[in-house]
Structure formats: structure tokens, C-alpha cells
Structure 1
Amino acid sequence: MRIAVFSDIHSNQEALRAFMEHAARQGIDRYVCLGDLVGYGANPNRCIDLVQSLPGISFIKGNHDNAATGNTSNMNTRADKSMAWTRQRLSGNNIIFLKKMDTVIKQGNLTFCHATPYNPLTWAYITKRKVISKTFARSRAKIIFTGHTHAPSAITRKNFFCVYIKNPKNNSVLPAATQKRQIFNCGSIGQPRDGDPRASYLIYDAKAQLIEFHRVPYDHDKAARKIMDAGLPHYLATRLLKGE
């Protein structure tokens, strides 16, 4: 079983298509989307439609998906503007789809979530020691897959050792440890924030017990032009070029 885990598309159709084309060549058996399909970018409806076409896919709700359906959110000014723009353009069917997404999926020794599995609707970032500790303490899963931070990383239970996966030339492969519990962050498809503008996702190979981190180039200029043409904040366009 090879599972492609991805997150934070943020209405970026160009990045999503590039990811889908890349993943289609990797022998994927199942897809899991960890949320934030919408927000920031210019193609919310198209991205929702595209991602639903992936075979054997499961969905997790992200904070932007939650806000897009009218729930309260605590976002900065740029994010609020893009969310207001998104709400006005989402189709009725896609609003219903976003409302019905799960907040956590548990499968055997695996857990999938957007932020933290123990209190998913608080949208905490798994970056600080306290949150990492609670995440491990309140979950029995051997491996936890998460997104939300827009930066790919691997965290082990022992000493809360965290490694950010930044490799500008090649993809990275890490063992899924059999004796240690781990958290793997797949990064972001549509808005990476680790200094690498390429789309980021991971593949969990259950048979080989390996985690493969992949980076995929896409047409940033086209995605940025769409954002500006839509009248969204220009910063949301320029940040795509820098991966910030």
C-alpha cells in the first residue's frame, strides 16, 4: 500500500495539477488530503472538483475549509480578505462538501489530521514542544500525518526530535521507525513556506516502511497572475515565487 498524503492546496490549480500528474507516476494506491483546499488562491471550485477525481481519496477539514463554510476564524487581514472572496464564489455543492469533511481519520496505527488530532478545531501548529508533547500523549497512533504549517517535517517521540525536510535538489526518503512514534508533516501543495516554492507532499509506503518526501515544480507565474487578476491581495501572489 502506497498512500499519497498532501495538504494546503489553497485554491492553487497549477500546483494541484502538477502534483496530480507527478503522483500518478508513483504507483499510488490511496490518497489522503489533509485539508485547506481553499483560501488564498484564485480557483477554489476548480480545485475542489479536481481533487475529488483522485482514486481512493479521503478528506480532512482544514481551518480555511472550516472558515469558508461560515464558521468563525482567527485569521490575519490578508487571509480574511481571501476567505471573503472565496465564500462569495464557492458553489452550493462545494460548500456542502467542505462541511461534511472529517476532522480526524484513524486507520490502524495511522492517524491523519490537519493540525492536531487531540483537539482538531483549535488548529494548533505542531511546532512547539508543548504541542508536540500533547500530540503524542493524547494519541496512540504509531504515525501521525499532519499539515497546516506549510513546511515538511519529521518529528520522533524520543526527545521530540524534529527535522525539517529541505532538499532543493533531490527528494528525501526516511524510514518509518518500528520502535518510535512519529509525526510527519507533508508540507503544502499550493503555498509552501519553507523557502522552496515547489509543491510538497509525501508518500507512505506501508510495505517498505518508508516515507518519501517529494517536491514538484509548477507554473508559479500563472498562479500568481490569476490571484492578481482576481483582485486578491498581491502579497498572496508574490509569496508563491519565494515559497514564504
Structure 2
Amino acid sequence: MRIAVIADIHGNDLALEAVLADIDRRGIREIVNLGDHLSGALNAGRTADILLSRADIACIAGNHDRWLLEKQPDAMGSWDRRAHAQLAAHHLDWLTQLPPTRLVAGSVFLCHGTPAADTTYWLDEPSGEGVMQLSPVERIEALAGGIDHPVLLCGHTHIARAVRLRDGRLVVNPGSVGSPAYDDDEPVPHKVETGTPHARYAVIERHGDRWDATFHLVDYDHMAMARLAESRGELDWARALATGWLS
């Protein structure tokens, strides 16, 4: 069994199209999507239309999807406010139907941040210097407590990572389809920079009783998206999309 894993599209419709084409080219029929589909400086409405046209993709909600529903536009952050202005009622109705967690294939657990919280980083965390680093295995295992499935999938950090827990469970973050770099103030000021502008996804595959993961970087017209962000005055987005770095 092979399952393609995508996450953190953030309204990047061109990156999403490229990733889905690459998945289809590989003949992978099952796709899961770990949330944060629409919020950002790009094309939220068209991204939503693509996802709504693919009923075969098992989706859950991320923190930005939740904020699009819970907050009024004047209380939203810039990513959510720009996306919300592009969304029609049927797009928001679709978001209301997405669960925060989900089980697929009987043994693969989906969440956005951690099983308990969609805003908590799991496999990576910021250091005191604001640099993202691999979390200690003790912390990763503590956050996996009570979830006894062999594969646990998460997004949120935008960093592709796989960690094998000491009991054999596999935790996988596929990286971000559409947002290769960003900064944030929570839980401390920090940057996430992947270093290239590629769209990212993962494939998990079962071999007998063991699951493994591979990571894929996909070329697409990232400069078109960088120019779009720049035309909207979103210079951090433009740099991130062009290079995978913020500076």
C-alpha cells in the first residue's frame, strides 16, 4: 500500500497542481491532506476549487482553516484575511466539514500539529535563537501518547521529517506544498526556511508490518507565484517563494 501525503498548501494553486500531477504520474491512488489549505498571499479560491474537485483526497483541518471559520475578518491575521476575501460560501462550507484528526486505511492517523493541538509543533521546535531544530525523542513520544497506530502524520512546521519512535511507530511530516519559508512569533520568535522553492510531499508505503517514508521535491513555476506575492506587497512571501529563504 502506498499513500501520498500533502500538507500546508497555503493557497499555492500552481504548487498543488504540480504535486498532484507528480502523484498521479507515480500511479498513487490514495492521497491524504493534513490541512492549512488556503491561507496566504496567493490564490485561495482556486486552490479550494482544485481540492473540491478531488473528492478522492482525505482532508483534515489545520489551524488556519479553523481560524477562517472562527474569526471575523477584521480579527484575522494577514494570511487568513487575504484568503477569506477570495472564498465563496461553498468553500467555507467545505471547511466546516473537515475534522481535526482522522484515521485512514485502518492504521494511519492524521493530524495537523499534534494529536491534541493544531498549533503545536511536533517533530521540530524553535531554539532560543529562533532556529528550527529536531525535537528530542522524549518530547515527540510524549506528544504521541495514546495514539497506538503504526503511522502518525502531521504538518504545521512546513519541514519534511520522519522520526521512528522507539516502539516502532513512524511519525512523518511531508513538508509544505506551497510555503517554503515563513516566520512566526509563537511560541518564540523564529524562522522556518527550507532552502529551496520546491513544492514538497511524502509517500508512505507498507512493507509487511513495517511502514517507511520517502520525500519528494517538485519543480513548478514558483517565480510566477513569487511575482504574484510581490504584486500584492507581500515581500516576505515573494522572497520565500523565489528562494526558500526569507533573507
Q: TM-score range by the shorter chain?
A: 0.7 to 0.9
Amino acid at match of 2:150: K
Alpha-carbon separation, structure 2, partners of 1:217 and 1:243: 13
Alpha-carbon separation, structure 2, partners of 1:228 and 1:67: 25
Task: Say if 2:105 is the partner of 1:97.
Answer: no
Identical columns (%): 30
What are the Cα deviations for residues 69-95 of structure 1, in whole angstroms up to 9, with x where unaligned?
2348xx9xxx92122122122111101
- Per the alignment, residue 189 of structure 1 pairs with 177
Task: Say if 2:110 is the partner of 1:112.
Answer: yes
Alpha-carbon separation, structure 2, partners of 1:39 and 1:87: 8
Alpha-carbon separation, structure 1, partners of 2:154 and 2:160: 9
- Per the alignment, residue 213 of structure 1 pairs with 215
Deviation at 1:235, TM superposition (A): 1.0
Deviation at 1:224, TM superposition (A): 1.2
Superposition misfits of 4+ residues, deviation over 6 angstroms = none
Residue ranges of structure 1 left out of the alignment (5+ in a row): 159-178
Structure 2 residue aligned with 1:81, among 78, 82, 86?
Answer: 78
After superposition, the Cα gap between the structure-2 partners of 1:84 and 1:206, relative to the gap in structure 1 and judged at 3 Å, is: same
- Per the alignment, residue 22 of structure 2 pairs with 22
Alpha-carbon separation, structure 2, partners of 1:97 and 1:55: 11
Comparing 180-189 with 192-201, greater Cα deviation is found at 192-201
Deviation at 1:55, TM superposition (A): 5.5
Q: In 1, are the aligned partners of 2:10 and 2:37 still within 8 Å (CA)?
A: yes
Q: Cα RMSD over matched residues?
A: 2.2
In structure 2, the residue corresponding to 1:196 is in which secondary structure? Answer: coil
Alpha-carbon separation, structure 2, partners of 1:36 and 1:99: 13
Task: Say if 2:40 is the partner of 1:40.
Answer: yes
In structure 1, the residue corresponding to 2:93 is in which secondary structure? Answer: helix
Task: Say if 2:150 is the partner of 1:142.
Answer: yes
- Per the alignment, residue 63 of structure 1 pairs with 63
In structure 2, the residue corresponding to 1:97 is in which secondary structure? Answer: helix
Q: In 2, are the aligned partners of 1:195 and 1:242 still within 8 Å (CA)?
A: yes
Q: In 1, are the aligned partners of 2:44 and 2:87 still within 8 Å (CA)?
A: yes
- Per the alignment, residue 189 of structure 2 pairs with none
What are the Cα deviations for residues 191-217 of structure 1, in whole angstroms up to 9, with x where unaligned?
123212211101122357432211101
- Per the alignment, residue 9 of structure 1 pairs with 9
Deviation at 1:133, TM superposition (A): 2.7
Alpha-carbon separation, structure 1, partners of 2:81 and 2:117: 23
After superposition, the Cα gap between the structure-2 partners of 1:63 and 1:206, relative to the gap in structure 1 and judged at 3 Å, is: same
Q: In 1, are the aligned partners of 2:11 and 2:40 still within 8 Å (CA)?
A: yes
Alpha-carbon separation, structure 2, partners of 1:131 and 1:226: 39
Aligned residues: 217
Alpha-carbon separation, structure 1, partners of 2:160 and 2:174: 5
Q: In 2, are the aligned partners of 1:30 and 1:55 still within 8 Å (CA)?
A: no
In structure 1, the residue corresponding to 2:215 is in which secondary structure? Answer: strand
What are the Cα deviations for residues 150-181 of structure 1, in whole angstroms up to 9, with x where unaligned?
010011212xxxxxxxxxxxxxxxxxxxx611
Amino acid at match of 1:225: R
Alpha-carbon separation, structure 1, partners of 2:154 and 2:98: 15
After superposition, the Cα gap between the structure-2 partners of 1:26 and 1:54, relative to the gap in structure 1 and judged at 3 Å, is: farther
Alpha-carbon separation, structure 2, partners of 1:26 and 1:55: 19
